[in-house]
């Protein structure tokens, strides 16, 4: 069974995968696997970018969306007359002839990665570049990923990684059993910095404690030379932040968060 | 399983880098099926398994438990993957065109110069076009002399050999006897050339000698400053993603990153590190305050300064307030540069505590701003204060390794051969210094300026980037005595307005009747093509046969054969063929072509490639390429400025004293009255030439500082019409009217104050004009700064006043770097910002807003061309 593995920590956001897909499919007819993708408007592979946090403590998260080639593919169920089928290698393919006129295939996809081609009256999506695989090549998007963030192969090749930690599939609750796996998806962060306003100095080595209300989890850090702390791997909810530095009065801040936050610069008063 | 689908008929090799001038990169395997390009893939250094993979002597760098290995294929960026759309662009100039109301002969009544950019074009035949051109050249010669012809042939386009692309016309003009050359000023390196060269020389462009810096950094560096540098964006067109690959390796080694830039750039977005936002072109204040911290806290290498430099006392005195009674404290700097004083102090200490290297990728940051010589010189001084040249320290240039075919610009493992395309090259000979020339920055002044034969236009320096600092003390003039001023422009680089300083003035110059004939040859109808009288249609390299090298990829040098991938589009010809067609009409075809076929030229290319001893012509043609081995002894080259650091007396710099000249006696002697570039570096806000700081009275009306980087989704003005890029949110912002506006990055808090929302169309304006943009409201840029990449296509609403496309170079400062430095100023300038009143603009400019545009590609040629048959 073929799978795509996307390591979001390794993605540099170059969009090579998104553009390579268009290079391979826009205007190119790979019948019987696929008809040409329109010049614009469809994204069989798409890179989304999201800026989180606030200046100057920000992060950019890149997220690649594409057909999940689901084990329980809703598009297969929606397609009539065998319009959507699974190849022996596991790739889910929309037969462009049998699928003609079947818009329900587009609507069935819970991931929004099946597109309707008005001109050809056919549903279209990622084919895993099956035509290239059959010619002994890789999917074009995988071939041009320069960082190793996007990989493709048999499940067994990646089994060890995929059965480890920080592995996700999209919308697992739907039971579609995607064959696209995500590693190291970014989590929330809470960051800030501490300083002495009288000396106008950053406070290094201050002890910063973050307590999560929901489960009482406690995270500890010391500030760096810029007085910065940065708690990664967090989740939403109510928190208490405590900054302690020898000779200074402790600072406590409670906050509710549902997104990454730069909690700000905390002035510390001499005790 | 059924019969496999045919995925290609053939594969051809193409170098799709944008350096031009025979310096190739971004090599690709281009697959063709049924006469059409179907896909573009990386070039594999073992293509067709033609050679033993060990023959290229694979290199690796082992240090600190990690190994950096040269890749086995080129690391492409999106540009190559989408470049076929440039061949098939709706904006291709399909056949020779003539502006309807221009007539040859120079009669002011019949030139209708004021209609340039307005009146439309009609199709003419190649025969008619070249007859007109030849006659106009002969008319120039007899009426004014050949210096009346200005050749514009520089900048970055495709990289070709036989076919130029830039400067083919100079071969013809030299054959005819004379012309005037536009000299490209050191656009990517302004500050390094006008400033740093006076401190440390460093041939060719004033950036540090790069030899084996990659290995040195892997082994010794602890911290890397990305000072305005963005290898995840700025290097793409000149080496694909090799720079990204290397940056990731540095991360793996645990090298700490600090990003000093107004924006949270694409490298900061992909790599871990600390972002220190600094307002555009205020770096020199930050640098002075770092020096202050080091001086007052004893955090610098005084002994090194004593033994390796002269004139530190001037700088020290300046920093400590001895010269202007202003102490350059972090608090002082905070007011100017926007970095809190405490962060400046922490940064200074962090730097002093770590072996630090500063990386650059040209463009961006401070190197193209007003008085760019100051931050460049200050950077060298700061590096010196930390023992410049000690292992793991200094300056690192992320790309363009082997620039100008030199080892000194190569940070990677030395190749055994730096190949050359000189045997078949028809582009400009950059070493040729014509009698009559004009720096590119001064072209509008040369055309429109207030000068006379008695009081000619004067400037210092030949202005090409690669000359020694002493060149800057020579004075030149236009016109040269006895020579005619220019009356005709022949450009193969029609993007002055969108890439240079004060484009609105260039538009005025182009529409002046002083210029009787503008000839442009270019593949696409864009930018300065609007102002041409005759347009010749040029091929993309997909349509041409050529011999190529690749020496900027960072892994292995190679030479290769470029077969045509597709048939020429329309009636297009290559740049060289365009010139040959003109030569035919002038009766000098045989002399110019030397009777050589492409086969002959490709043979000559191989013969003089410096690889002829390694690979026979037969093998070269059979395999279509040859990869050059890494030198056996590359590890023995002493890195960077180690030798100078170790023993400055026996390894002097190329400065007059052989030492770092923090105070330059040459500058003091040659320009004793220059208030803008003193003999020693300092913070420079406003001066006689520029008032672009937030402390200028102008800031009342134009309170934001504009940065205008090398674009992420273009190379300068190349590729603005690629629909696949326009779909990316950081590439274009589509207005309610469907038009793709060039994004303007605005900090969220500033946007709230201005009443601007994400996606709004906004006006960026100052007294030089106005451009529109699409608001990209983000936390990725600091308050007080705005960013709009340069190079968006010109789409004038009103000539010299307003532009829809976002070609912001039209509102850059017109003045050059400083009084004696003829460089460009295209970054870090004051602008006002407001939500555009589109109803009002539409009412004011109805015709411009009625022009057709394509929602996928933006403005289109069709509105300027009269359909139909030949006239």
A41-100 per-position pLDDT tens digit: 999 999 999 999 999 999 999 999 999 999 999 999 999 999 999 999 999 999 999 999
For the beta carbon of residue B89, count every other beta carbon within 10 angstroms.
Answer: 22
Interface probe for B, chosen from A56, A147, A232 (most Cβ of B below 10 Å), is: A56
- Residues of chain A found within 8 Å of residue B730, distances taken between Cβ atoms: 49
Distances (CA, A) of A164 to A157, A226, B163, B602: 14, 35, 55, 55
Domain end call among A183, A208, A242: A183
Q: Which residues pair with B831 in a beta bridge?
A: B704
| A261 token code pair | 């936050």
Are A169 and A201 members of one domain? no
Both tokens of B759, joined, read 């996606």
Same domain, A176 and A252: no
Residues A179 and A192 in one domain: no
Note the pLDDT tens digit of each residue in B118-171: 999 999 999 999 999 999 999 999 999 999 999 999 988 999 999 999 999 999
- What pairs with residue A150 in β-bridges? A6
Token representation of residue B607: 């013969």
pLDDT given at position B432: 83
Q: Concatenate the DSSP letters of all residues of A94-109 into one string.
A: E-TTTTTT-THHHHH-
pLDDT band at B483 (very low <50, low <70, confident <90, very high): very high
Same domain? A144 vs A13: yes
Enter the CATH code of domain B197-400+652-670.
3.40.228.10
Residue B652 to residue A250: CA distance in whole angstroms: 55
pLDDT, tens only, A201-259: 999 999 999 999 999 999 999 999 999 999 999 999 999 999 999 999 999 999 999 99
CB B732 within 8 A of CB B726: yes
CB-closest option in A13, A22, A225 to B724:
A22
Tell me what the pLDDT averaged over chain B comes to. 96
Question: What are the pLDDT digits (tens) for B547-591?
Answer: 999 999 999 999 999 999 999 999 999 999 999 999 999 999 999
Q: Which residues partner with A158 through β-bridges?
A: none
B213-220 vs B242-252: helix crossing angle, rounded to 10: 20
Query: Could you give the residue ranges of the DSSP H alpha helices within B568-713?
Result: 575-586, 589-593, 598-607, 617-623, 642-646, 665-670
At which of A183, A198, A218 does a domain end? A183
Exposed/middle/buried for residue B725 (C-beta within 10 Å: 0-12, 13-18, 19+): buried
**Do A219 and A235 lie in a common domain?**
yes
User: Token digits for B461?
Assistant: 């320096």
Q: Which chain A residue is nearest to residue B31, measuring alpha carbons?
A: A24
Q: Determine the pLDDT at residue B559.
A: 98
Tokens 């210096």 belong to which residue?
B147
- State whether residue B86 sits within 8 Å of chain A by CB: no
User: pLDDT tens digits for B584-614?
Assistant: 999 999 999 999 999 999 999 999 999 999 9
What is the per-residue pLDDT for B791?
94
What φ, ψ does residue B262 adopt, rounded to 5°?
-60, -25
pLDDT of amino acid B520: 98
- How high is the pLDDT of residue A18? 98
With beta carbons less than 8 A apart as the criterion, state whether A225 and A202 touch.
yes
SS3 B732: coil
* B28 touches A: beta carbon within 8 Å: no
CB contact under 8 A, A16 and B248: no
Over residues B244-267, the pLDDT tens digits come to 999 999 999 999 999 999 999 999
Chain A nearest C-alpha distance from B460 (Å)? 42
Question: What is chain A's mean pLDDT, rounded?
Answer: 97
- The DSSP-derived string for B803-846 is ESS--GGGGS-SS-SBTTB-----BSEEEEEEE--HHHHHHH-H
* CA distance linking residue B180 with residue B106, whole number of Å: 19
pLDDT in tens, B5-41: 999 999 999 999 999 998 999 999 999 999 999 999 9
- Last-in-domain residue among A183, A209, A242: A183
Domain of A9, in residue numbers: 2-183
Cα radius of gyration rounded to whole Å, chain A:
24
Q: For residue B870, what pLDDT is reported?
A: 42
Judge: B245–A147 Cβ closer than 8 Å, yes or no. yes
Which pLDDT value is given to residue A190?
A: 98
Q: How much is the pLDDT for B2?
A: 62
Q: How far apart are the first and last CA of chain B?
A: 57
**B54-104, pLDDT tens digit by residue?**
999 999 999 999 999 999 999 999 999 999 999 999 999 999 999 999 999
Residue A242 and residue A173 share a domain: no
Band the pLDDT of B365: cuts 50, 70, 90: low
Query: Nearest-5° angle of CA A244, CA A250, CA A254?
Result: 100
CB neighbours (10 Å) of residue B173?
A: 24
In 3D space, the residue among A132, A134, A161, A136 whose CA is nearest the CA of residue A148 turns out to be: A161
- Which residues of chain B does A230 touch, with a Cβ-Cβ cutoff of 8 Å? none
Distance of CA A135 to the CA centre of its chain: 30
| Rounded-to-integer distance, Cα B247 and Cα B232, Å | 9
How many other β-carbons are positioned within 10 Å of the β-carbon of residue B638? Answer: 16
How many domains does the structure of chain A reveal?
2
Residue A190 has which token pair? 């809470």
Q: Do B36 and B191 contact (CB within 8 A), yes or no? A: no
- pLDDT reading at B869 higher than 70: no
Identify any residues that bridge with B99 across adjacent strands, giving them in sequence order.
B121
Q: Which two tokens stand for residue B284?
A: 């020199």
Residues A177, A207 share a domain: no
Query: Is A163 in the same domain as A217?
Result: no
Judge if A6 and A122 occupy the same domain: yes
The question of ipTM being above 0.90 is answered as yes
Q: Are residues A230 and A260 in the same domain?
A: yes
pLDDT the model gives residue B867: 65
pLDDT at B364: 64
Q: What is residue B863's predicted lDDT score, i.e. its pLDDT? A: 85
Give B174's contacts (C-beta < 8 A, 6+ positions apart). Answer: B432
Contact residues on chain A for B73, CB-CB shorter than 8 A: none
Taking CB atoms and an 8 Å limit, are A49 and B40 in contact across chains?
A: no
Distance from CA of A98 to the nearest CA of B (A): 17
Which residues partner with B761 through β-bridges? B774
Residues B477-483, mean pLDDT to the nearest whole number: 95
pTM of the complete model: 0.97
Q: Topology of domain B697-864, per CATH?
A: Barwin-like endoglucanases (2.40.40)
**Mean of the pLDDT values across residues B706-728?**
95
Residue whose pair of structure tokens reads 């120039």 in the numeric block: B140
Strand pairing report for B785-787 and A251-257: unpaired
Question: Distance between CA B547 and CA B559 in Å, rounded?
Answer: 8
Is B564 in a helix, a strand, or coil? coil
Query: Do B269 and A13 make contact, defined as CB atoms within 8 angstroms?
Result: yes
Q: Could you tell me whether strands A207-212 and A218-222 are parallel, antiparallel, or unpaired per DSSP bridges?
A: antiparallel
pLDDT the model gives residue A42 = 98
Calculate how close chain A gets to B27, using CA atoms only, in Å.
13
Classified by CATH at the fold level, domain B97-186+437-541+567-607 comes out as Rossmann fold (3.40.50)
Across chain A, which distance is largest between two alpha carbons, in Å?
Answer: 77
**CA neighbours closer than 13 Å in the CB half-sphere of residue A203:** 28
Please report, for the domain that includes residue A122, its CATH number. Answer: 3.30.70.20
All structural domains of chain B with their residue ranges: 97-186+437-541+567-607, 197-400+652-670, 697-864
How many residues belong to chain A? 271
Q: Are residues A230 and A136 in the same domain?
A: no
Task: Establish whether domains B97-186+437-541+567-607 and B197-400+652-670 are of one fold.
Answer: no
Q: What integer pLDDT is reported at residue A217 of this predicted model?
A: 98
> Cβ contact (<8 Å) for A39 and B856?
yes
**Statement to judge: residues A173 and A257 lie in one domain:** no
Cβ contact, residue pair A200, B341, below 8 Å: yes
A-B contacts (CB, under 8 Å) = 154
Which residue in this structure is represented by tokens 């505590």? B353
C-alpha closest to that of A111 among A74, A144, A85, A151: A74
| Six token digits for residue A51 | 């800026």
- By CB atoms closer than 10 A (0-12, 13-18, 19+), residue A207 is middle
Q: How confident is the model at residue A197 (pLDDT cuts 50, 70, 90)?
A: very high
Interchain contact, B245 vs A146, CB within 8 Å = yes
Q: Helix B283-297 crosses helix B330-337 at what angle (to 10 degrees)? A: 170
**Distance from B244 to chain A by nearest Cα, in Å?**
8
Cβ neighbourhood burial of B868 (10 Å; 0-12, 13-18, 19+)? exposed
As a whole number of Å, the end-to-end CA separation of chain A is 64
pLDDT digits (tens, 9 = 90+) for B190-239: 999 999 999 999 999 999 999 999 999 999 999 999 999 999 999 999 99
pLDDT tens digits for range B635-672:
999 999 999 999 999 999 999 999 999 999 999 999 99
CA angle A193, A199, A204 (to 5 degrees): 40
pLDDT of B868 strictly over 60: no
- Give the mutation candidate from B30, B78, B82, B347 for the A interface (greatest A CB count, under 10 A): B78
Cβ atoms < 10 Å from Cβ of B847 = 9
Task: Report CA-CA distances (Å) from B486 to B115, B150, B154, B518, B839.
Answer: 20, 6, 18, 11, 42
Whether the pLDDT of residue B409 is over 90: the answer is yes
| Cβ–Cβ gap B248/A147 under 8 Å | yes
């Amino acid at each position: 069974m073929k799978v795509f593995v996307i390591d979001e920590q390794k993605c540099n956001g170059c969009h090579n995968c998104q553009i390579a897909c268009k290079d391979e499919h826009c205007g190119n007819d790979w019948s019987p696997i696929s008809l040409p993708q329109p010049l614009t408007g469809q994204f069989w592979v798409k890179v989304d970018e999201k800026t989180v946090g606030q200046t100057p403590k920000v992060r950019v998260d890149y997220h690649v969306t594409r057909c999940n080639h689901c084990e329980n593919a809703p598009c297969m169920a929606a397609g009539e007359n065998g319009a959507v089928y699974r190849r022996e290698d596991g790739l889910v393919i929309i037969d462009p002839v049998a699928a003609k006129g079947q818009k329900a295939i587009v609507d069935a996809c819970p991931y929004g990665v099946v597109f309707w081609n008005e001109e050809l009256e056919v549903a279209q999506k990622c084919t895993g570049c099956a035509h290239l695989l059959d010619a002994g090549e890789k999917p074009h998007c995988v071939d041009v990923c320069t960082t190793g963030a996007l990989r493709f192969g048999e499940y067994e090749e990646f089994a060890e990684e995929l059965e480890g930690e920080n592995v996700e599939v999209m919308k697992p609750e739907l039971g579609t059993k995607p064959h696209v796996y995500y590693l190291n998806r970014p989590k929330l962060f809470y960051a800030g910095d501490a300083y002495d306003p009288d000396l106008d100095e950053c406070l290094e080595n201050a002890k910063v404690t973050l307590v999560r209300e929901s489960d009482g989890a406690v995270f500890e850090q010391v500030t760096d030379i810029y007085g910065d702390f940065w708690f990664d791997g967090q989740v939403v909810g109510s928190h208490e932040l405590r900054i302690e530095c020898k000779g200074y009065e402790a600072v406590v801040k409670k906050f509710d968060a549902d997104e990454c936050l730069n909690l700000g610069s905390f002035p510390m008063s001499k005790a | 399983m059924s019969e496999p689908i045919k995925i290609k008929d053939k594969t051809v090799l193409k170098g799709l880098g944008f350096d031009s001038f025979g310096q190739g990169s971004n090599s690709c395997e281009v697959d063709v099926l049924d006469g059409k390009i179907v896909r573009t893939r990386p070039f594999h250094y073992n293509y067709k398994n033609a050679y033993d993979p060990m023959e290229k002597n694979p290199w690796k760098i082992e240090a600190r438990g990690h190994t950096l290995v040269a890749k086995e294929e080129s690391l492409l960026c999106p540009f190559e993957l989408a470049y076929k759309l440039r061949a098939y662009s709706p904006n291709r100039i399909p056949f020779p065109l003539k502006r309807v109301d221009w007539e040859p002969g120079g009669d002011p009544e019949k030139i209708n110069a004021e209609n340039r950019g307005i009146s439309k074009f009609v199709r003419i035949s190649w025969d008619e076009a070249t007859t007109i051109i030849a006659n106009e050249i002969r008319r120039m010669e007899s009426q004014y002399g050949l210096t009346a012809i200005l050749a514009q042939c520089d900048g970055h386009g495709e990289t070709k050999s036989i076919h130029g692309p830039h400067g083919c016309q100079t071969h013809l003009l030299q054959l005819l006897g004379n012309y005037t050359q536009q000299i490209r000023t050191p656009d990517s390196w302004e500050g390094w050339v006008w400033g740093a060269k006076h401190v440390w020389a460093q041939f060719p462009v004033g950036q540090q000698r790069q030899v084996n810096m990659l290995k040195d950094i892997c082994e010794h560096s602890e911290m890397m400053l990305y000072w305005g540098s963005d290898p995840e964006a700025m290097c793409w067109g000149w080496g694909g993603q090799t720079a990204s690959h290397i940056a990731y390796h540095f991360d793996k080694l645990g090298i700490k990153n600090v990003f000093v830039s107004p924006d949270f750039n694409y490298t900061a977005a992909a790599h871990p590190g600390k972002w220190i936002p600094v307002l555009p072109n205020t770096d020199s204040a930050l640098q002075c305050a770092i020096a202050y911290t080091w001086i007052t806290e004893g955090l610098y290498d005084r002994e090194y300064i004593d033994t390796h430099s002269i004139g530190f006392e001037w700088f020290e005195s300046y920093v400590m307030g001895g010269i202007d009674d202003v102490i350059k404290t972090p608090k002082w700097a905070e007011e100017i540069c926007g970095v809190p004083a405490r962060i400046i102090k922490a940064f200074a200490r962090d730097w002093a505590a770590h072996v630090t290297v500063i990386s650059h990728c040209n463009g961006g940051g401070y190197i193209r701003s007003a008085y760019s010589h100051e931050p460049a010189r200050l950077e060298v001084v700061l590096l010196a204060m930390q023992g410049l040249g000690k292992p793991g320290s200094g300056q690192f240039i992320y790309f363009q390794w082997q620039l100008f075919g030199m080892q000194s610009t190569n940070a990677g493992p030395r190749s055994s051969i730096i190949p050359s395309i000189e045997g078949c090259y028809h582009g400009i000979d950059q070493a040729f210094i014509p009698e009559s020339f004009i720096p590119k920055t001064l072209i509008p002044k040369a055309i429109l300026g207030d000068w006379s034969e008695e009081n000619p236009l004067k400037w210092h320096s030949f202005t090409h980037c690669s000359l020694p600092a002493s060149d800057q003390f020579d004075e030149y003039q236009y016109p040269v005595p006895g020579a005619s001023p220019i009356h005709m422009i022949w450009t193969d680089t029609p993007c002055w307005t969108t890439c240079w300083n004060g484009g609105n003035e260039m538009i005025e110059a182009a529409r002046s009747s002083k210029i009787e004939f503008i000839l442009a040859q270019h593949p696409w109808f864009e930018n300065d093509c609007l102002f041409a009288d005759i347009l010749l249609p040029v091929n993309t390299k997909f349509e041409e046969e050529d011999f190529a090298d690749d020496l900027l990829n960072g892994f292995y040098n190679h030479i290769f054969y470029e077969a045509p991938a597709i048939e020429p589009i329309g009636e297009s010809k290559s740049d060289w063929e365009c010139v040959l067609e003109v030569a035919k009409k002038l009766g000098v075809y045989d002399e110019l072509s030397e009777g050589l076929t492409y086969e002959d030229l490709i043979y000559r290319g191989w013969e003089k490639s410096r690889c002829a001893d390694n690979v026979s012509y037969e093998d070269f043609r059979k395999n279509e390429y040859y990869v050059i081995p890494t030198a056996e002894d590359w590890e023995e080259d002493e890195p960077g400025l180690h030798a100078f650091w170790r023993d400055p007396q026996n390894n002097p710099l190329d400065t007059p004293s052989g030492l770092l000249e923090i105070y330059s006696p040459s500058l003091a002697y040659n320009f004793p009255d220059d208030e803008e570039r003193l003999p020693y570096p300092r913070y420079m806000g406003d001066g006689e030439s520029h008032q672009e700081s937030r402390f200028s009275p102008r800031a009342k009306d134009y309170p934001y500082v504009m940065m205008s980087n090398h674009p992420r989704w273009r190379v300068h003005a190349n590729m603005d019409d690629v629909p696949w890029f326009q779909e990316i949110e950081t590439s274009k912002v589509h207005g309610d009217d469907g038009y793709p506006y060039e994004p303007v990055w605005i900090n969220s808090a500033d946007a709230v104050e201005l009443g601007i929302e994400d996606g709004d169309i906004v006006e960026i304006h100052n007294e030089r004009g106005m451009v529109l943009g699409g608001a990209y409201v983000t936390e990725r840029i600091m308050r007080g700064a705005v960013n709009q990449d340069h190079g968006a296509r010109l789409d004038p609403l009103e000539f010299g006043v307003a532009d829809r496309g976002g070609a912001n170079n039209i509102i850059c400062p017109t003045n050059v770097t400083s009084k004696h430095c003829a460089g460009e100023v295209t970054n870090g300038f004051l602008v006002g910002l407001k939500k555009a009143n589109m109803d009002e603009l539409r009412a004011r400019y109805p015709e411009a807003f009625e022009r057709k545009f394509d929602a996928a590609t933006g403005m289109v040629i069709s509105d300027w061309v009269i359909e139909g048959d030949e006239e």
